[in-house]
Amino acid sequence: MTKAREIMHAGAQCIGEDESLYKAAQMMRDLNVGSLPICGRDDRLHGIITDRDIVIKCCAEGRNPAEVKAGELAQGKPHWVDAESDIDQVLTIMEQHQIRRVPVISEHRLVGMISEADVARNLTDDQIAHFVESIYAAR
């Protein structure tokens, strides 16, 4: 059975909860990603921030991304999978919560990220169709 560790992008980088959204946007640009995990002073996952979050929850509200902290957008409990979770568990989490990216945790530390593209590379056509339908169902 395929494990999360086998399909994840290793070495995901966090934005600190006290770092600005401006810094988060620069990191996304430099890493060529659309989201970043938010880690706290305790080096634990506190949430995920997306490029869309920065636009909708900061810029569109007339706020200055250089002044807004990433931690301000870390709302609710973040969803994640254990590095030893099998692909069915990964799919379940992503489908239940309609999320396109999920952090991978091992021994309480972030070790990688799984995107919908990572998952799709490991599914049959029927599984991909079900996954897409679940993730993009009316929100």
For 124-136, the pLDDT digits (tens) are 788 778 877 777 7
Say what percent of the chain tops pLDDT 70. 98
Is residue 114 within 8 Å of residue 81, measured between CB atoms?
yes
Kindly give the residue spans of alpha helices, DSSP state H, lying in 50-123.
Answer: 51-57, 87-97, 116-120
As a whole number, mean pLDDT of residues 83-106 equals: 91
Domain range for residue 31? 4-135
**Domain count for the chain:** 1
Tokens matching residue 20: 């600005």
pLDDT above 90 for 118: no
Is residue 88 within 8 Å of residue 131, measured between CB atoms?
no
Which tens digits make up the pLDDT trace of 7-45?
A: 998 888 999 999 999 999 999 999 998 889 999 888 889
Is residue 48 within 8 Å of residue 101, measured between CB atoms?
yes
CATH classification of the domain holding 24: 3.10.580.10
What pTM was estimated for this model as a whole? Answer: 0.82
